[in-house]
Amino acid sequence: MGGLNSLWNAVFRWLLAGFFLTACAIGASAADRTIYLTFDDGPLPGTKNVLSVLSKENVPAAMFMVGLHVETIPAGRDLLAEAKAMPLVTVGNHSYTHANNRYRQYYSNTQAVVADMLHANQVLGLTPMVNARLPGRDVFRLPTVSREDLSINVAQWEREWLDYELVAEAGFYLYGWDFEWVHSNDGKPVQSVDHLINEIDHLFQYGRFTQPGKMILLMHDEMFQDQFNGQENLQALIRTLRQRGYAFGDIRTYAPSNP
């Protein structure tokens, strides 16, 4: 009988050890799956909905804003002030003009690019080092991370390389992105929330991100302008990702400040 009890005790300890190992593995997996929510082009219709959801869900996010929109969109300055007052929101620089959506022309004049970014700093009330995203370019220039935009050809990259370098030297941390929630010309999301989450799950299985276990997700404020579906879509995305064990990261902790 004593031998049988010893056997059961050994089995119990083995099962218990397995449980703890599994729990630790799940915890480690969640810790290695961090998503950085980023929103471009605000303030725009949709920015108010984004800020409302971020506040309700208490998640960090980066809002890369356009100086011209602050000055011309109704309530633009109020939306900027609201975003800057939220502790978990990082307001970043997304240029003053957004290149007027003529990117090749914009990047043909390096001095003008730097001046445009610095002008946006003045409007946004930002001082170096400033978290920023260049208009139309998926480029990283961080103390420990540097990456080019792989969507443009080599000749174009060679022409624009100096622009990225000099903007960074002017006092900017430049962030690209790993994946995008795509929107159509009318601003509506292309992927459904469920489709997007399936794509995110698959991408984390392969782990091909700029930094291991860290996905920077690009979205645009205008995607959430619908009075009802806008907030519901973003809220559903955040809640479902949270349920699936993803963590949400603060862009300021994405890469160490010092090499």
Rounded to the nearest 10°, the torsion over CA 2, 5, 10, 16 is -150
Q: Locate the domains of the chain by residue range.
A: 33-253
Contact 62, 90 (CB under 8 A): yes
With beta carbons less than 8 A apart as the criterion, state whether 62 and 251 touch. Answer: yes
CATH of 33-253, one of 3.20.20.370, 3.40.50.720, 3.40.1160.10, 3.40.50.11260: 3.20.20.370
Angle at 209 between CA 205 and CA 214, to 5 degrees: 85
User: Which residues 6+ apart lie within 8 Å of 197 measured at CB?
Assistant: 237, 240, 241, 244
Per-residue pLDDT tens digits of the chain, which is 259 residues long: 444 444 444 433 443 334 333 333 333 345 589 999 999 999 999 999 999 999 999 999 999 999 999 999 999 999 999 999 999 999 999 999 999 999 999 999 999 999 999 999 999 999 989 999 999 999 999 999 999 998 999 989 889 999 999 999 999 999 999 999 999 988 899 999 999 999 999 999 998 899 999 999 999 999 999 977 899 999 999 999 999 999 999 999 998 764 4
d(CA 169, CA 220): 27
Q: DSSP for 96-138?
A: SSGGGG-HHHHTT-HHHHHHHHHHHHHHHT--SSEEE--TT--
